[in-house]
Amino acid sequence: MACSFRVVRRCPHTQARAGIFYTPHGPVLTPTFMPVGTLATVKGVTPEQLASTGAQMILANTYHLHEQPGEEIVQHCGGLHRFMHWSGPILTDSGGFQVFSLSSLRQITDEGVTFRSPRNGNLIHLTPEKSIQIQNALGADVIMAFDECPPYPAHYEEVKRAVYRTYHWLGRCVRAHQRADQALFGIVQGGVYPQLRQLSAQQVTQYDLPGYAIGGVSVGEPPELMHKIVQTVTPWLPPDKPRYLMGVGTYREMALAIAAGVDLFDCVIPTRLARHGAALVQEERWNLKNRAFQRDERPLDATCPCYTCQHFSRAYLSHLFRARELLGYTLLSIHNITELMRFSLGLRQAIIDGTFAERLAVYER
């Protein structure tokens, strides 16, 4: 098996667990946050800078890499790790999220999805087999099954169709998967309907896969509904396999999901916020363009070990964003990723230390 998972400590008061996810490119301490590198780059930072943040595992996207530069080029250049000079584990999303995000440009059938490329207008036909073929060529450690992610809100019958389609597509993904050195994860769908989430979890776990994801969240539903979805799904997932909550990277949502037994998270938040001058500092969000920072000589966070906090002042960062200097995007991306890595791995340490329940109380109010 390409990957394996071991739980090293459980919280006696919640379902939280500290684990180690073993991959061909090294172990990943969980729970953890995974930065997003859609087009084989985490925006604004070099691989060396990314490694300095404490990032362990990163994401890339099948649909976007298929469009540009094409999986054949990535494969010709030695696979995704060598292509982007990242030596740690990589996960590729299947393109299933684009079924949701490009809804105005696609048509879904039981066979697959046809997209009208927003980049050049070309038609792209993506099937479960094609998604797996692309991901096999890219060569990530973890690949995701092709699924249908319904929007929010959506009627029960529409979501039910997506659940069954996701299940049937998973079977096709399993049969198409050709590489023993890549771990295929299945995805649970079901929208905000508990009975459909339970059904999807039961269907997906019929396949003995190396890990399972909870998809179809962070698509517009209120946070409290997301928490209910996670609490509904996790008891139906195998306790000895990693659980991945897709597209979630905010403090409270991660903490509550960890309490429910989730191990992996990803989100574009740290770099997207950085491009708009927003800093994540001790679980707060600061706008560095504000006048209050113009003469502030302190680092963003005196407790933060990142390159940005060790060398630059709030005043300098504020200047960079006011002047629209590209260095500002890089420095703030380094800090924001470091912040979310410290947060997620700090919760992991709290599980090991037996203090997780006290940390969690802050987010349950």
CA distance 180 to 237: 23
Instruction: Dihedral sign for Cα 182, 183, 184, 189, please.
Output: negative
Is 26 in contact with 89 (CB distance < 8 Å)? yes
Catalytic residue among 93, 141, 147, 301: 93
263 is catalytic: no
301 is catalytic: no
Read off the amino acid at residue 98.
Q
Q: For Cα atoms 205, 256, 22, give the angle at the middle one, nearest 5 degrees.
A: 50
Catalytic residue among 147, 266, 296, 353: 266
SS3 letters across 201-244: HHHHCCCCCCEEEECCCCCCCCHHHHHHHHHHHHHHCCCCCCEE
Q: Which of 124, 132, 128 is nearest to 147 (CA)?
A: 128
Which residues are identified as catalytic?
A: 93, 266
